[in-house]
Chain A
């Protein structure tokens, strides 16, 4: 286990270094943010003076080295647009992203998993096909459309829920649904496939032959055995929910990292983009690690430090 973790830690550091290096140079390929900061009437002298004050006139390698130096001290620099530390900016947005991801995951799993079970267990029932169609239709709706639709129905027409922004739990409902619908079908499909796979196994046939009832079978064996693929897809979906919420956040004026990312990229706020990418890479790597650890919890046959890896 220790060996496994230390190897994973080395991989983590390398991955993060690669990712920040890539994003550092990619962003700077096409210039710097100075032109976006000054008014149109600024002269070349004004612009050059500001560029120098912001440090973008230095050679790239110098900027890179000082960035890495700061990084070692956990300093992500200052936003050139907002004149504030990047860590402060990201820290203020992160909780909203987590809330939304959690809400969406609740919707996605809460509906997706039971639906997947139903689709697998009652696959001959006449209502199953329409149910499947409904689930996939919900996934196919683009969020900029379904989001506005949800707002128009539940906020403007019915007045049940606030149309946008943050506040109490009620503010979380509509964006969670809009975002959760996207992953719901994925969860349903994976659950169904995994269960169908398990149903053909010998142990199921033997158990049935012994007279075990389906609900008991489901609870004791099937769900547990089918959960491995669901966990790995779940880890991927969480990172999707964390990073892919840009449109939902925009439609619902949800102040998460997605909106911040788009704004920072458009404004060429390099330091903020670097910070977000770094965080994103870190979370993705950690989620994969967590999924690997969970495998061994649900299925003790999977050993993490075995020679098999």
Chain B
């Protein structure tokens, strides 16, 4: 009996092996396979925002405006826009755009999309990014007016993330069904979502703009990074996302694959709570800043993909001040400052973080601080608990925390206001001067004046050290050697900006 069984098993195994022996090489590049980490949480662009969802649905939908590969804001559904008054902006809408069901995209769809995402009842997690908009209306043929509750300089930066959904479809099928079977106007149309496995798209041949190079595209959920790389090497995936430096290094001299990287708008930083000892003493804060070996972290731990950073803004942000000097690295001086601070600096300090962030960096920070005479204890908690404390206001914010900041808007307001202004739960800093600067910058539409204000805030941060920016994070992708594509700072994955060289 057992003999028969194992013979049968061997036949099954052999048959299966032969069947699988020919991976789909013959299909040239009609079918492009992208391995992402998890399946999209939602394909409705007004629901959950996260990388994996965005990678997929941004190809299905057009946004009101977009960013070029270099990061400049440029037209997409809106061809031009002008400031009617301090709080009113008027957008000219393209008239040659068709949804995947053949119906034209109208200004009413734009208005509907804005009103949908700011509707409290719809409960979009993204609502906070758009609820400065209080009114959207059609103001003429192919014209849409947006009214904000005051001057709002970050409006365009936020609208880059606003996808236009078809009013007639959403109203006909309802929100739940639309999420499962989205209809957009983007370069790729939705075909199938095999839950837990993959989302398939096909090229929208009537697309108004640059068309996609692949007939179909499949986004598969592959959680393990090593497996994504194996898929790339075996030729079953053409592009894989979210690699770390350890996984990317072997790709540098792989025969079929390459590593593509972009510096993102994510900033790894240490935040000090200036209301809690020992960081109520500016000298101890300066000591922490001086102890950070940014080049050591980037080169020694992160494989050189990321970039040391001296301010909380990256060159990808509006408000970045290129002329600010980089903060110094001076262990001796840091040690002296800690000694001067006396007994207060001798107590144990909590460094709060979450497993989501790079633990090698967390340990390096602990080591660097031990070297200057501080006693640091790492306190790791799950992301939800970390976030709750991290934005719980002055009393809840830990003495010291390590994280990565991303406003997904590439604008100084989304970084500095949230992390420093006294009205924000994230802030561990109280300074009327920076508060005033941040408020003024939020209310002026004058670009030069804004930049000046943000430059001053960044300068004060370097001097007063409430925040210690460490490095600009890199997004690392693995790709087939045949793929030509420039990844962007805002981590979009536009299929129609790719080319394939067989």
A223 to B1, CA, bound (A): 11
B224 touches A250 (CB 8 A): yes
B23 touches A162 (CB 8 A): yes
A171 to B3, CA, bound (A): 26
Distance (whole angstroms) from the CB of B5 to the closest CB of chain A: 6
B197 touches A168 (CB 8 A): no
Distance (whole angstroms) from the CB of A237 to the closest CB of chain B: 17
A38 touches B128 (CB 8 A): yes
B230 touches A152 (CB 8 A): yes
Residue of B whose beta carbon sits closest to that of A177: B13
Q: Which residues of B contact A41 (CB under 8 A)?
A: 128-129, 407, 409, 414, 418
Cβ 8 A contact of A89, one of B123, B195, B221, B391:
B195
Q: Which residues of B contact A162 (CB under 8 A)?
A: 20, 23, 234, 236
A56 to B219, CA, bound (A): 32
Q: Which residues of A contact B223 (CB under 8 A)?
A: 250, 253, 259
A256 to B223, CA, bound (A): 12
**B113-130 to A contact mask, C-beta < 8 Å, 1/0:** 000000011010111110
A36 to B418, CA, bound (A): 17
Cβ 8 A contact of A43, one of B17, B120, B128:
B128
By secondary structure, the A interface counts as helix
Q: Which residues of A contact B384 (CB under 8 A)?
A: 30-33, 35-36, 268
**B45-56 to A contact mask, C-beta < 8 Å, 1/0:** 001110000000
B388 touches A35 (CB 8 A): yes
B127 touches A49 (CB 8 A): yes
B234 touches A163 (CB 8 A): yes
Distance (whole angstroms) from the CB of A66 to the closest CB of chain B: 17
Give the total number of A-B pairs whose CB atoms are below 8 A apart.
184
CB-CB under 8 A for A50 and B123, given A43-B128, A253-B221, A259-B223? yes
A294 contacts B by Cβ under 8 Å: no
Q: Which residues of A contact B121 (CB under 8 A)?
A: 53
Distance (whole angstroms) from the CB of B242 to the closest CB of chain A: 13
Q: Which residues of B contact A72 (CB under 8 A)?
A: none
B16 touches A169 (CB 8 A): yes
Q: Which residues of A contact B39 (CB under 8 A)?
A: 255
Interface residues of B in 33-73 (CB under 8 A from A): 35, 38-39, 41-42, 44, 47-49
Q: Which residues of B contact A160 (CB under 8 A)?
A: 17, 20-21
Q: Give the bracket for the number of chain B residues in contact with chain A.
A: 35 or more
B138 contacts A by Cβ under 8 Å: no
A39 contacts B by Cβ under 8 Å: yes
Cβ 8 A contact of B383, one of A165, A255, A266:
A266
Q: Which residues of B contact A84 (CB under 8 A)?
A: 176, 179-180
A114 to B405, CA, bound (A): 57
Distance (whole angstroms) from the CB of B84 to the closest CB of chain A: 26
A54 contacts B by Cβ under 8 Å: yes
B424 contacts A by Cβ under 8 Å: yes
Distance (whole angstroms) from the CB of B150 to the closest CB of chain A: 15
A84 to B48, CA, bound (A): 12
Cβ 8 A contact of B222, one of A30, A117, A164:
A164
Interface residues of B in 166-223 (CB under 8 A from A): 175-176, 179-180, 194-198, 220-223
B406 touches A40 (CB 8 A): yes
A305 contacts B by Cβ under 8 Å: no
A44 to B423, CA, bound (A): 10
A255 touches B221 (CB 8 A): yes
Cβ 8 A contact of A92, one of B195, B387, B409:
B195
A110 touches B16 (CB 8 A): no
Residue of A whose beta carbon sits closest to that of B33: A165
Cβ 8 A contact of A83, one of B48, B129, B222, B230:
B48
Other contacts beyond A168-B19, A253-B224, A255-B221: 17, CB < 8 A: A31-B384, A32-B384, A39-B49, A39-B125, A39-B407, A41-B128, A49-B127, A81-B41, A83-B42, A83-B44, A148-B227, A163-B231, A164-B236, A165-B220, A165-B222, A166-B197, A251-B226
Give residues in A with beta carbon < 8 Å to B: 30-33, 35-44, 46-47, 49-50, 53-54, 81-84, 88-89, 92-93, 96, 106-107, 110-111, 113-114, 117, 144, 148, 151-152, 154-156, 159-166, 168-173, 219, 223, 250-253, 255-256, 259-260, 263, 266, 268
Give residues in B with beta carbon < 8 Å to A: 1-3, 5-6, 9, 13, 16-17, 19-21, 23, 35, 38-39, 41-42, 44, 47-49, 120-121, 123, 125-129, 131, 175-176, 179-180, 194-198, 220-224, 226-227, 230-231, 233-234, 236, 382-385, 387-388, 391, 405-409, 414, 418, 424-426
Minimum-distance CB pairs A-B, first 8: A170-B20, A255-B196, A46-B128, A53-B123, A92-B195, A114-B2, A253-B222, A35-B387
